A and B are shown apart, each in its own frame.
Chain A
């Protein structure tokens, strides 16, 4: 035991240093790219003014995020947080519906051969239709309104969630189900207490892919069918020639996607901690 104790201290800091090293390595490429981008421009512009340099984008973002409007109705002063929340709110909303619909349907398709034969082909036929092709229908039904974006996000995130849940359900160890039945579990208990936790690793894979698509869907629909959010700002800024805002907007989208993925992965690590533990005798 004393041997293990003396090891514990250094081990923790080695672990921390390893993480910091990784973070530093991850930053090398973006920093280099931004630096090259800055160098390739003169007086804050590249290609005769077609694109701004990073310092201009940074300045535009600061005004967009923290500026206070003194006159007129400039949409790029102090509205960043608001736009962010509009988009993020829609993603959360649409993604939640996609989970609520996709996970149960995926489990039923994976569990029942009858359901699989009846539902799966339809899903596979609809799946190749890109979310952009749903835009006209979305606008026709919901108009230029919030729910149009939510609808598109739900559709986009639904497919990877349902497919991965189906696969996860089909791959559940047969003996786990037999064991549960042997212990007196009914179909409902088997599905909720055995199949769902057993399929969770696959479900999380579907959630991660679905969330990525959800961000694509929110930006696309805001560009066309909704008058707020990061996607709307992106297109609007392009129309009025504010490429600095366009780029700041793109970076914001990337950041949001990255952070929401990190959140999902954190939840996954927590929910699946039973898979990562080390054996006592290992």
Chain B
């Protein structure tokens, strides 16, 4: 579904900042992959390349067998701060995509209703983003991406700005949604627990230059829930990744 071969991204021309350096990386169809790393390690850059928001400097990146030249509805992006259009209601935010794509109303409206129901916002269709809590806003962000039936969901620290409790309930929601829809997900995070809980595979990244240093398959059984956060298998993965990250941070 997504494949990077020897991809580099340099900001500011020759001699600039190497945000990504010779990255090889793949995401299989239907796979949930978490990119885990400290801020500034290039994990958001990697996601932005897939999204088509930025262009790579060297190497080749394919999405669904094609090179990416611009953003599009086959790659639904969920932003860190939701980035909803604040003058549109929840409903209008969710149907913005189908509308500008010129889809027929009777084609997308039932789907939009269903997805709003899945994310638990059917009662808030007429609310404006400012009237919602951070968690609710991010539910809308997920809904507007899902309504386009994307081939992949690209999530850039979507729960990073939420308080711990809301974050847990959003992780639970995402698990339920994903277990139902089985969309390919590329999930950027700096939270180890979140990465293990959600992903089939965790890719650990390091900064300067941005590289993927370790890929760890998480073979915890599905379906998962936030209760898994405390079981021993989970703790085992966490210990492994922490060792991995410490090693990556302090190579000496």
Contact = CB atoms under 8 A, between A and B. Distances in A.
B133 A281 contact: yes
A179 B86 contact: no
Interface stretch (A17-25, A170-178, A238-246): A170-178
B73 interface: yes
A278 to B, nearest CB: 7
B53 interface: yes
Contact of B72 (A182, A193, A278): A182
A184 B148 contact: yes
Interface stretch (B21-29, B77-85, B175-183): B77-85
In terms of DSSP, what is the predominant structure of the interface of chain A? helix
Interface in A157-186: 173, 175-176, 178-186
A280 interface: yes
Contacts of A181: 52-53, 70-72
A146 B198 CA distance: 70
Contact of B130 (A185, A193, A194, A275): A275
Nearest to B48: A178
In terms of DSSP, what is the predominant structure of the interface of chain B? loop
A280 B137 CA distance: 12
Most buried by A among B70, B85, B86: B85
Contacts of B133: 279-281
Interface in B59-93: 70-73, 75-77, 79, 81, 83-87
Contacts of A179: 77, 79, 83-85, 144
Contacts of B87: 197-198, 274
Interface residues of B, number: 30
Nearest to B92: A193
Contacts of B75: 182
A279 B124 CA distance: 13
B100 A189 contact: yes
A182 B86 CA distance: 17
B131 A277 contact: yes
Contacts of A198: 87
Given A173-B83, A194-B85, A184 B101 contact: yes
Given A184-B72, A274-B87, A193 B100 contact: yes
Nearest to A188: B100
A275 B131 CA distance: 10
A281 B166 CA distance: 14
A80 B145 CA distance: 60
Interface string B127-170: 11011110000000000110010000000000000000000000
Given A178-B77, A182-B51, A189-B100, A274 B127 contact: no
Contact of B100 (A183, A274, A277, A281): A183
Interface in A99-137: none
A202 to B, nearest CB: 14
B234 interface: no
A183 B148 contact: yes
Nearest to A272: B87
B137 to A, nearest CB: 10
Most buried by B among A179, A185, A186, A281: A179
A161 B43 CA distance: 41
A178 B130 contact: no
B97 interface: yes
A186 B99 CA distance: 12
B184 to A, nearest CB: 16
A181 B144 CA distance: 13
Given A175-B79, A175-B83, A178-B77, A185 B131 contact: no
Nearest to B133: A281
Contact of A280 (B79, B132, B145): B132
7 contacts: A178-B71, A179-B85, A182-B71, A182-B73, A183-B97, A279-B130, A280-B131
Interface of B: 51-53, 70-73, 75-77, 79, 81, 83-87, 96-97, 100-101, 127-128, 130-133, 144-145, 148
Interface of A: 173, 175-176, 178-186, 189, 193-194, 197-198, 274-275, 277-281
